[in-house]
Homo-oligomer: A and B are copies of this chain.
Amino acid sequence: MSRDFRELLEKQWDAGNMLCVGLDSDLERIPEAARTADVRESIVGFNRAIIDATKDLVCAYKPNSAFYEAHGDEGWNALRETIQYLLEAAPGVPVIVDAKRGDIGSTNEAYAAAIFDHLHADAITVQPYAGGEALKPFLEREEKGVFVLCRTSNEGSGEFQDIATEGKKLYQVVAERVSREWDKNGNCGLVVGATYPSELRTVRDIVAKMPLLVPGIGAQGGDIEKTIAAGKDVRGRGLIVNVSRSLIFASSGDDFANAARTEAQRLSGAMRKAALQ
């Protein structure tokens, strides 16, 4: 089966989906109802329930590798099994591993092998700091998506990202380089936090129709209407709006999967409405 990240994503956008569910499945927050004595089983079981409850409402899933690595080989196995389940149960939904990797080129070959060949993810998030030359092992995978950190959602993201250079800020320079030089295969995207709608608009003006992965809605406080107004492209799409904790942990009771579905429906509806405005 040949999968192409951008094709899968465009089909989801065709259907009006722009909600991305962040599978940041922190074991300590997984409801009792989904837990067993086994770490891997608990995480995979929880993820399967969340996926089954939301797969018709989303444009992508985005597990963050940190919450799996915290449990070592068992966690890594849980991540692999989660992606395997996604490929079977939701074959039309692309999987972005939010790994924020970035090393020199020869080492990035090994990271690309880990994320794309071992885990079989469709896309990855990467760091810009070492430059585009170092990221070639990711960028050359034409069928995979490569989301470069541009403006992160955290409070202190401006420390370097807002540094002034040649009349611009660093995050603007990153957006320009990625869209004008690194995106030769049409497989790049950028990560821009929903907590910075004005910067999101600036980035959209630079990158035309490039996909923007937007974290920060929900627990981090970003606003759906402002995010979509600032970030949508001329076609009214182009956004992958991620919600993690406030959706997957919407309830800590036995009804956690139904509660996640209700929250996904609410968010998806709000996003569709905002996209029409």
Assuming A80-B72, A155-B133, A158-B131, is B66 touching A103 (CB within 8 A)?
Answer: yes
Could you tell me the distance in whole angstroms from the C-beta of A4 to the nearest C-beta in chain B?
A: 23
Q: By the criterion of a CB under 8 Å from any partner CB, how many residues of chain A are at the interface? A: 59
Residues on B with C-beta less than 8 A from A149 are 129-130
A45-53, A166-174, A246-254, A266-274: which lies at the interface: A166-174
Docked complex Cα distance between A74 and B76 (Å): 9
Contact B102 A66 (CB under 8 A): no
Residues on B with C-beta less than 8 A from A160 are 128-129, 131, 170, 173-174, 177
Interface centre among A74, A117, A130, A166 (most CB of B within 10 A): A130
Docked complex Cα distance between A86 and B163 (Å): 41
Docked complex Cα distance between A223 and B196 (Å): 44
Contact A131 B105 (CB under 8 A): no
User: Quick one: which of B73, B152, B163 contacts A76, CB cutoff 8 A?
Assistant: B73
In the complex, which residue of chain B has the Cβ closest to the Cβ of A26?
Answer: B110
Could you tell me the distance in whole angstroms from the C-beta of A68 to the nearest C-beta in chain B?
A: 9
Interface centre among A129, A134, A154, A160 (most CB of B within 10 A): A129
The number of times this chain is found in the oligomer is: 2
Contact A76 B72 (CB under 8 A): yes
Could you tell me the distance in whole angstroms from the C-beta of A82 to the nearest C-beta in chain B?
A: 13
Indicate with 1 or 0, residue by residue over A145-166, a CB within 8 angstroms of chain B CB atoms. Answer: 0000100111111111101111
Residues on B with C-beta less than 8 A from A119 are 72
Could you tell me the distance in whole angstroms from the C-beta of A29 to the nearest C-beta in chain B?
A: 11
Contact A70 B118 (CB under 8 A): yes
Contact B157 A163 (CB under 8 A): no
Could you tell me the distance in whole angstroms from the C-beta of A21 to the nearest C-beta in chain B?
A: 16
* Chain A 127-142 residues near chain B, CB threshold 8 A: 127-134
Docked complex Cα distance between A22 and B110 (Å): 15
Residues on B with C-beta less than 8 A from A165 are 163-165, 170
Q: Can you spell out 24 A-B residue pairs with CB atoms less than 8 angstroms apart?
A: A24-B107, A26-B110, A66-B103, A66-B108, A66-B110, A67-B107, A70-B117, A71-B114, A71-B118, A72-B118, A100-B102, A100-B103, A100-B127, A102-B127, A104-B152, A104-B154, A104-B220, A129-B152, A131-B154, A132-B159, A134-B152, A159-B177, A160-B170, A163-B170
- Residues of A at under 8 Å CB distance from B? 24, 26, 64, 66-67, 69-77, 80, 98, 100-105, 107-108, 110-111, 113-114, 117-119, 127-134, 149, 152-161, 163-166, 170, 173-174, 177, 220
